[in-house]
Amino acid sequence: MNNLYIKAINRAKELLLENPFDVYHTLDHHAEVVCNIFDIKDAEVIELKNGLLEVAAWWHDVFKDNTRGEELLIKEFLDLGLNQEEIQEILNIISSHSFGQEQQNSEAKLLYDADKIALVSIPRWKYAFDRFDAGLISEAERDKYIPEWNRRMPILEDKLHYKYSKLLFKKRYAEFVDWLKSIGRYQNGLMV
């Protein structure tokens, strides 16, 4: 991988450690998304043209919900020495990873699938629940994504692009529901 890309990834990791968006969008979440990407890519035998997908994956939620997010990304990438073409490709991948967006290429589809599979990540949700139990976050902070989770779960599998993504999601979803039941947070098909 290109040294500039490695520097960009390391900078994202620094920012995620210093100031994650919230308890659900941490360095660990981004690392899990990257692992999911490579699991899917390898299972589906997808060739990637360069290392920009991995850069995009590490940056995809660094400036989440910031009205100046794209501007801040561009500044960071220029400061790191990336060129305009690389920056635009990264921005295109990141900008289409949300629900309701259309993914135009393999890189965008991989980030989308990998990020959505992380919605059923036991470590991700356990971290938030544990932070609440320790008195470190509010109930509102802990529960802010539960309504969204309940809305998306019935349709998520059909929104994934790759066969392996769907298999991985089904497996992790079943494990996640079992975990929710074990902690008394699943009733009538919904997280509570």
pLDDT at 118: 98
Question: Distance between CA 3 and CA 42 in Å, rounded?
Answer: 23
| Residue range(s) defining the domain that contains residue 164 | 3-191
Nearest to 100 by CA among 25, 155, 39: 155
Average pLDDT over residues 126-152: 97
Alpha-helical (H) ranges within 22-145 are 27-44, 52-59, 69-80, 84-95, 106-117, 122-133, 139-143
Q: Hey, what are 157's tokens? A: 């599998």
Sign, Cα dihedral of 102, 125, 153, 144: negative
pLDDT band at 106; cut points 50, 70, 90: very high
How many domains does the structure of the chain reveal?
1
Strands 186-187 and 190-191, by their bridges, are antiparallel
Residue (of 47, 29, 183, 10) closest to 97 by Cα position: 29
Task: Using pLDDT thresholds of 50, 70 and 90, give the confidence band for residue 129.
Answer: very high
- Tell whether the model's pLDDT for residue 112 goes beyond 90: yes
pLDDT at 123: 98
pTM above the 0.75 mark?
yes
With bands split at pLDDT 50, 70 and 90, how would you rate the model's confidence at 108? very high
CATH of the domain at 30: 1.10.3210.10
For the cut 90, the answer to whether the pLDDT of residue 49 exceeds it is no
